[in-house]
Amino acid sequence: MQRAFLPLFLLTMALSGGLNDAQAAPLTPRTLAKDTIVVRLPNQATITLVVRDAAQLRQMKNYQLDSLTSRLAGYIAQAETAAKTAKTDQVTLQFYPDKDQPGKNLPEQIRITTRKKTPNSNRVDVVLNKTFGVTVTTDDKGSKSYSTGEGKTKEQRQAKADSLRLVQIERNRTDVNFILDLGLNALVNQENGGLTGSDAAVDLRTAGSRYVNVGFDWETRLGGKRSPVGLSIGTEFAFNNYMLTGNNQWVDNNGRTSVVKVADGRQFQKSKLTTSSVNVPLMLQLKLRDSHYKPTFRVAAGGFVGYRLGAHTKVKYLSDGNTDKEKEEGRYNLENFLYGAQGTIGYGSLEFFGKYNMNDLFKSNAGPQAQVLSFGVRLFGN
């Protein structure tokens, strides 16, 4: 009996190293089995040997198990390969060593059953009241991982969010957005700067010539439920600053607005003309979305009409070491009715705007002949 268990031990080691889940099925019908030997290994693999009696067990030494254990590695490799490509979760292969090499006292039949190896093969979900969940996942190496959520996998949560987002898109044919634009102003297409005794163009201080626009717009979808094309119309209030460089000042004199260089000893820190207007934009827009229905690239183009509400000039200067300010309300011969073209372009949460006044800033022959270009970032309204 002791010599018979030596080859049996070698067989055990081969099975435990190559196929942990494999179980050697009995080679004789269970109805004839009288004695059973079960070998349980430390790595949780189990070998079951069924014989009719102890005499049959002693005959194991005649099967040359030393050579059989070396052959098992090849059998196991074939079984694992078959499991990887199989369409079912379990594959059983049978081998006949005695028929392949007769006369060498090899076993008549070896049957190996393998299961497709998949990660996270053991998983337990615990859900409380359908709102809080803990998922305990055990992989094929025995390592556990924990995750919390609504008792659903990441893919399930993503699919639910996508579905809700799509329902909202299809349901809301119209939408209202708050608009906030921050940018800068520039004077373009200048013909006469209006400087006394000079034809130089009006030179604005870039950082001080700020543009602010606030309002609301109403979007409506054109086409089907998932159409990316829409039309927007709104009401907006714009504030334009035109800050001069140097020691220059905006002056309204005898029905004409001009830029005059001041030489009375005051040193200007700021000198600007500020206007306010109400505008109504109308734009055609295109909004694209990704596979999760989140906004990606968008572009809009159209025009606007508006009306000038008010204007004033303001200077800040040093005089005798003190800082003084002067503000003067007036119309400054500005054009009252406005019109022009505007557009936006963006991706994700970033969006830029551009706005071009097609009419002159001042009335004809009543000030510098120039048009206004405003550009910057749209902070709200995506």
Along the 382 residues of the chain, how does pLDDT read in single tens digits? 444 444 444 444 444 444 444 344 444 444 444 577 776 767 666 777 777 777 776 776 666 656 666 777 777 778 778 777 777 777 787 878 778 778 777 777 787 777 766 554 455 444 444 445 555 566 666 666 656 555 466 777 888 888 888 888 888 889 999 999 999 999 999 975 444 444 457 999 999 999 999 999 999 999 998 899 999 999 999 999 999 998 999 999 888 999 999 888 788 999 999 999 999 999 999 999 998 889 999 999 999 999 999 999 999 988 777 889 999 999 999 999 999 999 999 999 899 999 999 999 999 989 999 999 999 999 987 6
Question: Looking at the domain assignment, is residue 160 inside a domain?
Answer: no
Tokens, residue 142: 């025995």
Residue 136 and residue 110 share a domain: no
> In angstroms, rounded to a whole number, what is the distance separating the alpha carbons of residues 314 and 330?
11
Q: Is 162 inside a domain boundary?
A: no
Query: For residue 325, what pLDDT is reported?
Result: 92
With respect to residue 371, please indicate whether it lies within any of the assigned structural domains: yes
Instruction: With CA atoms as reference, report the closest residue to 170 among 233, 216, 223.
Output: 223
pLDDT at 75: 76
Q: Could you tell me which of 126, 125, 113, 152 has the C-alpha nearest to residue 22?
A: 113
Please report which helix (H) or strand (E) contains residue 10, including its range: helix 2-18
Q: Which of 69, 96, 115 is where one domain is finished?
A: 115
Looking at the fold, whether 229 and 367 belong to one and the same domain comes out as yes
Are 100 and 48 contained in the same domain?
yes
Indicate whether 187 and 331 sit together in one domain. yes
Say whether both 238 and 371 belong to one domain: yes
Closest among 276, 306, 274 to 209, alpha carbons compared: 274
d(CA 371, CA 382): 28
Q: How far is CA 231 from the centre of its chain?
A: 26
Distance CA 149, CA 32 (A): 54
115, 131, 161 - which closes a domain = 115
Same domain for 146 and 180, yes or no, is no
Report the run of H or E that residue 165 belongs to, with start and end: helix 154-171
Amino acid present at 174? T
pLDDT score recorded for residue 302: 98
pLDDT at 130: 46
Answer yes or no: are the C-beta atoms of 380 and 215 closer than 8 Å: no
Based on the domain organization, do 211 and 349 belong to the same domain? yes
147 and 180 housed in the same domain: no
Q: DSSP secondary-structure letter at 244?
A: B
In a domain, 183, yes or no: yes
Q: Clarify whether residues 268 and 367 are in a common domain.
A: yes
Domain annotation covers residue 167: no
What's the total number of domains in the chain? 3
Range of the domain at 316: 172-380
Residues 367 and 287 in one domain: yes
* Alpha carbons 342 and 357: distance in angstroms, whole number: 9
Q: Is residue 142 part of a domain?
A: yes
Residue 158 lies in a domain: no
Q: How far is CA 337 from the centre of its chain?
A: 43
Quick check: is 203 in a domain? yes
Q: Are 213 and 270 within one domain?
A: yes
Q: Mark whether 196 and 332 lie in a shared domain.
A: yes
